[in-house]
Amino acid sequence: GPMQEFNCQVDPEAAKMVFDCGVALVMVPLDVTHTVLVTPSVLQRVRIVYCRVASMRQDTYRSVFGFIHPPLHDPCAVAFVIAPHLFKVRELRVDIETVSPYTAGQTVCDVWRQTGRPANCRVAVTMDVAQFWDLQLAALAEADVASPLNMLTIPKGG
């Protein structure tokens, strides 16, 4: 959809229940994950397997969203769990649109505190992309060493 993040779009009522349930939440929105681009310098650091995956994504992100390089999403959320210091977060009220045929599933962050409702989520607003890639590539290198396939070629130190 034009405004929704995928997981909220496919089940906005469930997303609303999660955001309203009272547990401590952290959201890493598209505004942040769209800064983690699979650039040529990243592709150079990881060659065989990762390049194949990235090239499949690149065509879609270019034709549909106008991105020159495709972003990553889920690894950003995992990175928050492993290395929260890479992120700047704000305590915000987040509600999920469940009614509109155009924006059902949209996460609505009360950035200016207009609703008067209490914050229910820590929302990532930026992340250190360079350190994210160092973390991601180190994890891939470690997995490659442990794998019997040894399919990745990752330059040392890089």
| Cβ atoms of 121 and 18 closer than 8 Å | no
Q: Report which DSSP code applies to 86.
A: G
d(CA 42, CA 130): 10
Q: 5 with 29: CB under 8 angstroms?
A: yes
Write the CA distances from 80 to 16, 88, 134, integer angstroms: 22, 10, 14
- DSSP letter at 151 equals -
**Helix/strand/coil for 91:** strand
Name the catalytic one among 34, 69, 73, 85: 73
Is 73 an active-site residue? Answer: yes
How far apart CA 59 and CA 54 sit, in angstroms, is 9
Tokens coding 158: 């890089």
> Residue type at 113?
R
Q: Which residues are catalytic?
A: 73
